């Protein structure tokens, strides 16, 4: 599996750390709603198919990315910075460094 980091370009999965489900919402810090916190900490859907996940480029720029990935065939549909309202498409379209020319 390779992930296109918006900063660093396409990199192998070994450079990344899985950081969990990106679909869960952290409740307001002051909230004492146990159900909301329980949902955030424990409840996971584990879908077979498209899923939004957090991956950190821990062996690179260390940014957290929201990766939309198909858990069945590992096809990655989009990559975007976490916490940014950035269109996933522009993020993944950004061109990676010219890897082909560099290698020989």
Output DSSP code: residue 38: H
Q: What number of chain residues touch another protein (CB under 8 A)? A: 33
Identified binder of another protein from the candidate list 23, 41, 44, 89, rule CB under 8 A = 41
User: What are 21's strand-pairing partners?
Assistant: 53
Q: Provide the 10 A C-beta neighbour count for residue 98.
A: 9
45 or 102: CB nearest another protein: 102
Q: What does residue 98 show for φ and ψ, rounded to 5 degrees?
A: -70, 85
Per CB under 8 A, does 49 bind another protein? no
Residue (of 69, 33, 40) closest to 52 by Cα position: 69
User: Which residues of the shown chain bind another protein in the complex (CB under 8 A)?
Assistant: 1-2, 12-13, 17, 19, 22, 26-27, 29-32, 34, 37, 40-42, 54, 56, 58, 62-64, 73-74, 81-84, 99, 103-104
């Amino acid at each position: 599996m390779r992930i296109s980091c918006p900063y660093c370009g396409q990199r192998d999965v070994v450079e990344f750390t899985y950081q969990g489900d990106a679909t869960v919402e952290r409740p307001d810090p002051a909230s004492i709603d146990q159900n909301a916190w329980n949902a955030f900490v424990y409840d996971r859907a584990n879908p077979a198919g498209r899923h939004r996940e957090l991956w950190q480029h821990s062996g690179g720029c260390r940014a957290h990315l929201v990766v939309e990935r198909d858990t069945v065939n590992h096809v990655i549909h989009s990559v975007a910075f976490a916490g940014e309202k950035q269109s996933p498409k522009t993020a993944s379209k950004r061109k990676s460094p010219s890897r082909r020319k560099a290698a020989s």
